[in-house]
Structure 1
Protein backbone atom coordinates (compact mmCIF):
# COMPACT_ATOMS: atom_id res chain seq x y z
CA UNK A 1 0.00 0.00 0.00
CA UNK A 2 1.26 3.44 -0.94
CA UNK A 3 -0.01 6.72 0.48
CA UNK A 4 0.33 9.96 -1.44
CA UNK A 5 -0.04 13.32 0.25
CA UNK A 6 -1.44 15.12 -2.75
CA UNK A 7 -2.35 18.61 -3.88
CA UNK A 8 -4.46 18.31 -7.07
CA UNK A 9 -3.54 21.87 -8.10
CA UNK A 10 0.18 21.01 -8.23
CA UNK A 11 1.56 19.66 -11.50
CA UNK A 12 4.36 17.72 -9.81
CA UNK A 13 1.84 16.15 -7.46
CA UNK A 14 -0.46 15.18 -10.35
CA UNK A 15 2.49 13.68 -12.28
CA UNK A 16 3.54 11.70 -9.21
CA UNK A 17 0.03 10.35 -8.72
CA UNK A 18 -0.21 9.34 -12.38
CA UNK A 19 3.10 7.47 -12.26
CA UNK A 20 2.30 5.67 -9.02
CA UNK A 21 -1.19 4.80 -10.29
CA UNK A 22 0.34 3.08 -13.33
CA UNK A 23 2.50 0.84 -11.16
CA UNK A 24 0.58 0.36 -7.95
CA UNK A 25 -2.97 -0.76 -7.34
CA UNK A 26 -3.27 -0.05 -3.63
CA UNK A 27 -3.03 3.73 -3.25
CA UNK A 28 -4.45 5.98 -0.58
CA UNK A 29 -4.66 9.61 -1.65
CA UNK A 30 -4.53 12.14 1.16
CA UNK A 31 -5.58 15.64 0.13
CA UNK A 32 -3.79 17.34 2.98
CA UNK A 33 -5.09 20.81 2.12
CA UNK A 34 -8.68 19.61 2.55
CA UNK A 35 -7.90 17.44 5.58
CA UNK A 36 -5.03 19.14 7.40
CA UNK A 37 -2.49 17.01 9.20
CA UNK A 38 -2.13 16.98 12.95
CA UNK A 39 1.11 17.63 14.76
CA UNK A 40 1.46 13.89 15.33
CA UNK A 41 0.84 13.11 11.64
CA UNK A 42 3.56 15.57 10.65
CA UNK A 43 6.01 14.17 13.16
CA UNK A 44 5.41 10.67 11.83
CA UNK A 45 5.94 11.86 8.25
CA UNK A 46 9.13 13.66 9.22
CA UNK A 47 10.42 10.49 10.81
CA UNK A 48 9.60 8.42 7.70
CA UNK A 49 11.26 11.04 5.50
CA UNK A 50 14.23 11.32 7.87
CA UNK A 51 13.82 15.12 7.62
CA UNK A 52 14.16 17.99 10.02
CA UNK A 53 10.96 20.07 9.98
CA UNK A 54 12.47 22.91 7.93
CA UNK A 55 13.27 20.42 5.14
CA UNK A 56 9.55 19.83 4.61
CA UNK A 57 8.67 23.53 4.35
CA UNK A 58 8.03 25.24 1.04
CA UNK A 59 10.14 28.26 1.94
CA UNK A 60 9.15 30.21 -1.19
CA UNK A 61 5.46 30.23 -0.25
CA UNK A 62 4.09 33.71 0.42
CA UNK A 63 2.84 32.70 3.88
CA UNK A 64 6.33 31.53 4.88
CA UNK A 65 8.05 34.61 3.52
CA UNK A 66 5.62 37.03 5.14
CA UNK A 67 5.32 35.33 8.54
CA UNK A 68 8.29 33.08 9.26
CA UNK A 69 11.31 33.84 7.06
CA UNK A 70 14.43 34.97 8.92
CA UNK A 71 12.92 34.15 12.31
CA UNK A 72 14.57 31.81 14.77
CA UNK A 73 12.01 29.02 15.02
CA UNK A 74 12.15 25.80 16.99
CA UNK A 75 11.30 22.54 15.29
CA UNK A 76 8.00 22.57 17.19
CA UNK A 77 7.20 26.07 15.89
CA UNK A 78 7.95 25.00 12.31
CA UNK A 79 5.71 21.96 12.68
CA UNK A 80 2.96 24.18 14.11
CA UNK A 81 3.33 26.54 11.14
CA UNK A 82 2.72 23.57 8.80
CA UNK A 83 -0.27 22.43 10.86
CA UNK A 84 -1.74 25.95 10.74
CA UNK A 85 -0.84 26.50 7.06
CA UNK A 86 -0.79 23.15 5.21
CA UNK A 87 0.14 24.90 1.95
CA UNK A 88 3.64 25.15 3.47
CA UNK A 89 4.13 21.38 3.28
CA UNK A 90 6.32 20.20 0.42
CA UNK A 91 4.53 17.91 -2.00
CA UNK A 92 3.89 15.27 -3.06
CA UNK A 93 4.90 12.97 -0.22
CA UNK A 94 4.90 9.27 -1.05
CA UNK A 95 4.80 6.80 1.85
CA UNK A 96 5.51 3.10 1.57
CA UNK A 97 5.64 1.23 4.86
CA UNK A 98 7.76 3.19 7.29
CA UNK A 99 9.70 5.10 4.60
CA UNK A 100 8.74 8.19 2.62
CA UNK A 101 10.12 10.49 -0.07
CA UNK A 102 9.16 13.73 -1.73
CA UNK A 103 7.95 12.44 -5.09
CA UNK A 104 9.17 15.27 -7.30
CA UNK A 105 12.04 13.47 -9.07
CA UNK A 106 10.70 10.73 -11.34
CA UNK A 107 13.81 8.51 -11.21
CA UNK A 108 13.86 8.58 -7.41
CA UNK A 109 10.12 7.91 -7.30
CA UNK A 110 10.48 4.94 -9.66
CA UNK A 111 13.19 3.44 -7.45
CA UNK A 112 11.14 4.03 -4.31
CA UNK A 113 7.96 2.36 -5.49
CA UNK A 114 9.67 -0.76 -6.87
Structure 2
Protein backbone atom coordinates (compact mmCIF):
# COMPACT_ATOMS: atom_id res chain seq x y z
CA UNK A 1 0.00 0.00 0.00
CA UNK A 2 1.14 3.54 -0.77
CA UNK A 3 1.83 5.69 2.29
CA UNK A 4 2.14 9.48 2.51
CA UNK A 5 3.68 11.26 5.46
CA UNK A 6 1.52 14.35 5.45
CA UNK A 7 1.21 17.75 7.11
CA UNK A 8 -2.07 19.41 6.16
CA UNK A 9 -0.65 22.88 6.88
CA UNK A 10 1.90 22.47 4.07
CA UNK A 11 0.81 23.31 0.51
CA UNK A 12 3.31 20.87 -1.05
CA UNK A 13 1.98 18.12 1.19
CA UNK A 14 -1.62 18.96 0.26
CA UNK A 15 -0.62 18.89 -3.42
CA UNK A 16 0.97 15.47 -2.92
CA UNK A 17 -2.18 14.19 -1.23
CA UNK A 18 -4.32 15.52 -4.10
CA UNK A 19 -2.08 13.74 -6.62
CA UNK A 20 -2.54 10.46 -4.75
CA UNK A 21 -6.31 10.97 -4.60
CA UNK A 22 -6.38 11.61 -8.37
CA UNK A 23 -4.37 8.42 -9.00
CA UNK A 24 -7.28 6.34 -7.72
CA UNK A 25 -4.85 3.99 -5.98
CA UNK A 26 -5.38 3.06 -2.33
CA UNK A 27 -3.10 4.84 0.10
CA UNK A 28 -2.62 5.50 3.79
CA UNK A 29 -2.15 8.99 5.25
CA UNK A 30 0.27 9.32 8.16
CA UNK A 31 -0.11 12.64 9.94
CA UNK A 32 3.45 12.54 11.18
CA UNK A 33 3.10 15.53 13.52
CA UNK A 34 0.47 13.56 15.46
CA UNK A 35 1.97 10.08 14.96
CA UNK A 36 5.68 10.82 15.09
CA UNK A 37 7.81 8.17 13.37
CA UNK A 38 10.24 6.32 15.63
CA UNK A 39 13.98 6.52 15.07
CA UNK A 40 13.94 3.07 13.45
CA UNK A 41 11.04 4.05 11.20
CA UNK A 42 12.90 7.20 10.13
CA UNK A 43 16.02 5.12 9.42
CA UNK A 44 13.94 2.85 7.18
CA UNK A 45 12.46 5.86 5.36
CA UNK A 46 15.90 7.40 4.91
CA UNK A 47 17.22 4.10 3.49
CA UNK A 48 14.30 3.88 1.05
CA UNK A 49 14.92 7.47 -0.03
CA UNK A 50 18.62 6.63 -0.44
CA UNK A 51 19.67 9.88 1.25
CA UNK A 52 21.61 10.95 4.32
CA UNK A 53 19.55 11.93 7.40
CA UNK A 54 20.53 15.60 7.04
CA UNK A 55 18.85 15.63 3.61
CA UNK A 56 15.48 14.94 5.28
CA UNK A 57 15.80 17.96 7.58
CA UNK A 58 13.95 21.22 6.94
CA UNK A 59 16.91 23.48 7.66
CA UNK A 60 14.89 26.71 7.44
CA UNK A 61 12.70 25.75 10.40
CA UNK A 62 13.22 28.00 13.42
CA UNK A 63 13.84 24.97 15.65
CA UNK A 64 16.73 23.84 13.45
CA UNK A 65 18.27 27.31 13.34
CA UNK A 66 17.94 27.81 17.10
CA UNK A 67 19.05 24.41 18.33
CA UNK A 68 21.13 22.65 15.69
CA UNK A 69 22.51 24.96 13.00
CA UNK A 70 26.32 25.04 12.82
CA UNK A 71 26.63 22.02 15.12
CA UNK A 72 28.36 18.82 14.07
CA UNK A 73 25.77 16.08 14.53
CA UNK A 74 25.99 12.36 13.89
CA UNK A 75 23.33 10.67 11.76
CA UNK A 76 21.80 9.25 14.96
CA UNK A 77 21.65 12.72 16.52
CA UNK A 78 19.97 14.14 13.42
CA UNK A 79 17.39 11.36 13.48
CA UNK A 80 16.82 11.93 17.21
CA UNK A 81 16.25 15.63 16.51
CA UNK A 82 13.58 14.76 13.92
CA UNK A 83 11.87 12.41 16.38
CA UNK A 84 11.89 15.09 19.09
CA UNK A 85 10.89 17.87 16.69
CA UNK A 86 8.89 16.28 13.84
CA UNK A 87 8.38 19.71 12.20
CA UNK A 88 11.96 19.24 11.03
CA UNK A 89 10.97 16.35 8.75
CA UNK A 90 10.77 17.31 5.07
CA UNK A 91 7.37 16.68 3.50
CA UNK A 92 5.56 15.08 1.91
CA UNK A 93 7.24 11.70 1.89
CA UNK A 94 5.53 9.08 -0.27
CA UNK A 95 6.40 5.38 -0.06
CA UNK A 96 5.22 2.77 -2.51
CA UNK A 97 6.63 -0.67 -1.74
CA UNK A 98 10.41 -0.42 -1.91
CA UNK A 99 10.34 3.01 -3.59
CA UNK A 100 10.10 6.38 -1.87
CA UNK A 101 10.39 10.06 -2.70
CA UNK A 102 10.07 13.46 -1.12
CA UNK A 103 7.32 15.19 -3.09
CA UNK A 104 9.23 18.39 -3.83
CA UNK A 105 8.33 19.08 -6.55
CA UNK A 106 5.01 17.22 -6.42
CA UNK A 107 5.67 15.60 -9.82
CA UNK A 108 8.31 13.37 -8.21
CA UNK A 109 5.48 11.39 -6.60
CA UNK A 110 4.24 10.26 -10.03
CA UNK A 111 7.57 8.55 -10.66
CA UNK A 112 6.91 5.93 -7.94
CA UNK A 113 3.19 5.28 -8.47
- Give the TM-score band, short-chain normalised: over 0.9
Q: What is the CA-CA distance between 1:3 and the residue it aligns to? A: 0.1
Matches within 5 A, 1:20-39: 20-39=20-39
CA–CA separation in structure 2 for the residues paired with 1:78 and 1:107: 27
Unpaired segments ≥5 residues, structure 2: none
Q: What is the CA-CA distance between 1:105 and the residue it aligns to? A: 1.4
CA–CA separation in structure 2 for the residues paired with 1:24 and 1:43: 29
Unpaired segments ≥5 residues, structure 1: none
Determine helix, strand or coil for the equivalent of 2:4.
strand
What is the RMSD of the two structures over their aligned residues, measured on CA atoms? Answer: 0.9
CA–CA separation in structure 2 for the residues paired with 1:89 and 1:5: 9
The one-character-per-residue Cα deviations of 1:44-90 (angstroms, maximum 9, x if unpaired) are 00010001000000000000000000000000000000000000000
Determine helix, strand or coil for the equivalent of 1:16.
helix
Aligned residues between the structures = 113
Matches within 5 A, 1:68-83: 68-83=68-83
User: Normalising by the residue count of structure 1, what TM-score does the alignment of the two structures yield?
Assistant: 0.95
CA contact (8 A) 2:59 2:65 kept: yes
CA–CA separation in structure 2 for the residues paired with 1:60 and 1:66: 10
Aligned to 1:85: 85
Over 3 Å counting, the alpha-carbon distance change for 1:68 and 1:43 in structure 2 is same
Matches within 5 A, 1:54-65: 54-65=54-65
Determine helix, strand or coil for the equivalent of 1:35.
coil
User: Normalising by the residue count of structure 2, what TM-score does the alignment of the two structures yield?
Assistant: 0.96
